[in-house]
Amino acid sequence: MAFERRRILITGAGGFIGSALLKRLCDLSPVAVYYNTKPRLEYRSLRFVDLCDEHAVRVLMKEVRPEIVYHFAALTSPQRNENDPELSRESHLNITENVVNNLPEGAHIVFTSTDKVFDGSDPYPNENSEPRPLWLYARLKLECENLIRKRVPRHHIVRLGIVHSLGEEQAYMRQSEVKSIIDNAIVNMRMGKKAEIFNNVERCYVRISRLVDLFNCLLDDEHYGLYHVGSPKMSYYERIKQLCMEIGIAWQDLLVPVSGTATPMVQNLNTVKYSSTFRIIFD
């Protein structure tokens, strides 16, 4: 089926990932759903929909009849999830239940999950490793994963490391939204400000540009299932240093290594399944 004939729906289209994908797929005329945050992009097919309202979701699905849904709508701030468990459950599991319950038969769903489903005890977890989420955000993401895997045969569930751009995020993220540590550091360093960054907390990383390349590829992909996506593990400090060297920021006097605490301190991802299936490299 030709891409231009696809009926595409993006939830959470005003968020970091949703906005980036909307820009990429704009010519394919996806229907873009937002609630708290409206995309900055001027776009004709925006829909304001409360996805917690099952009737509203049912009406949306009947109108759009999507063949593929990129489901990104969620409460992304870990602290807000912990502080407001009721809102957290509504924003993850309830919304996902409404989407799944009203998907047209045979529809394909792409869902973003998180490396936080692990607690750091497994040094190299793959897709078959036992999840051990420590925080509510990750527990609810895992519940959503299980719901989708059980109910929607045509699914891609993508567990992500730390998602970032090269500072462009700050250009369109609203002041009240969570900012990427990496993007915030790059923006400050471009202005000659110092950035204190943990050199003892290690994660895998995902460039937003490569992620939307992957999502574009998934429009026509039938390798359904669960995938781990991210770069080789490194510290926040080493990651920002790597990016500075790549984009020409003189980091030596601006990037300040400091020790910090996080839970877990180290979280790796085994991405062998992803890399053997797709050609897009996350470095």
6-28 pLDDT, tens per residue? 899 999 999 999 999 999 999 99
Asked whether the beta carbons of 230 and 282 are under 8 A apart, the reply is yes
At residue 151, the pLDDT reads 98
Domains of the chain are 7-164+204-231+270-277 (3.40.50.720), 169-201+235-258 (no CATH)
What does the block give as tokens for 120? 């750091």
At residue 172, the pLDDT reads 45
Q: How confident is the model at residue 44 (pLDDT cuts 50, 70, 90)?
A: confident
d(CA 32, CA 16): 13
Ordered DSSP codes for 208-243: HHHHHHHHHHHTT----EEEEE-PPPEEHHHHHHHH
Average pLDDT, the chain: 93
Asked whether the beta carbons of 115 and 159 are under 8 A apart, the reply is yes
Q: How confident is the model at residue 196 (pLDDT cuts 50, 70, 90)?
A: very high
Q: With a cut of 70, say whether residue 4 has pLDDT above it.
A: no
What's the pLDDT tens digit per position in 96-120?
Answer: 999 999 999 999 999 999 999 999 9
d(CA 118, CA 269): 9
Q: How confident is the model at residue 245 (pLDDT cuts 50, 70, 90)?
A: very high
Average pLDDT over residues 218-236: 97
Asked whether the beta carbons of 11 and 18 are under 8 A apart, the reply is yes
- Where helices occur in the chain by DSSP H, the ranges are 16-25, 54-64, 78-83, 85-89, 95-101, 136-151, 169-172, 181-190, 208-218, 236-247, 272-277
At residue 219, the pLDDT reads 96
At residue 153, the pLDDT reads 98
At residue 5, the pLDDT reads 63
Q: Compare 176 and 192 and report the one with higher pLDDT.
A: 192
d(CA 229, CA 185): 23
At residue 167, the pLDDT reads 80
Average pLDDT over residues 158-170: 86
Average pLDDT over residues 186-200: 96
At residue 40, the pLDDT reads 74
Q: Compare 89 and 42 and report the one with higher pLDDT.
A: 89
d(CA 143, CA 277): 25
Q: List Cβ neighbours of 226 (8 Å cut-off, separation of 6 or more).
A: 127, 145, 149, 157, 159
At residue 39, the pLDDT reads 77
Residue 165: name the closest of 12, 7, 15 by CA.
15
At residue 174, the pLDDT reads 47
Q: With a cut of 60, say whether residue 175 has pLDDT above it.
A: no
CA torsion sign, 152 to 153 to 159 to 160? negative
